[in-house]
Amino acid sequence: MELALFDLDNTLLAGDSDVAWTQFLIEEGVLDDDAQGKRNDIFYEQYKSGTLDIHEFLDFQLAPLTRYPRARLDAWHREYMARHIRPMIHPAARARVDEHLRRGALTALVTATNSFVTGPIAREFGIAHLIATIPAQENGVFTGKPRGIPAYQAGKVARVESWLESLGLNLACFEQSWFYSDSHNDLPLLQRVTHPVAVDPDDILHEYARVHGWQVLTLRVVRDRI
């Protein structure tokens, strides 16, 4: 039995879906560029440095979901997918996912980005299982707060373990397991699989992968099959 886990931002996507969602809302005139754009950039730099306060970020990122009806949000998301997300998907990323699916691996997208933003992206890749930060809802309306543990850093490990447990499984059940990520923030989960893969990695992860003999690859161009 095989397990294939994929990070999303700057891994399967040649960009960041969280950043792009905020940029899309700015383009639509929903958010103010000066206030929201600058905060978005600050949070992104904190993420890259590993200093992001995930709860502070989620207060910022989830707030717009509380202000509009779901039908409007869904309509915006369809346009966002067309303008921002599909252009970020290189054929090599689709091919890597498809290869694992053809091999019959249990496959999941594991991302800190919230499930409203990432659910349709997982479906775009044909990935049935999504482990993402969950935006809480009450009576079908987003509250602006996360539900449960955000899927960030060690939280990804906790969320993956909980998901597998719900299936009657655990990581030890898999003879081979992969996790693909670009970020040193994902080291806790990368260290738990049998095949950690650094994809277009940041400098910290690239050096860690070099020292530990991990595979390093790009999903910006077509590479060999796994």
Catalytic residue annotation: 7, 9
Contacts of 42 (CB under 8 A, 6+ apart): none
Structure tokens belonging to residue 89 = 């998907």
Enclosing H/E stretch for 138: strand 129-138
Contacts of 128 (CB under 8 A, 6+ apart): 107, 122
Q: Is 100 left (phi over 0), alpha (psi -120 to 50) or beta?
A: alpha
Polymer length in residues for the chain = 226
Closest among 164, 167, 162, 166 to 150, alpha carbons compared: 162
Contact 66, 143 (CB under 8 A): yes
Contact 23, 105 (CB under 8 A): no
Which residues, in sequence order, are bridge partners of residue 147? 134
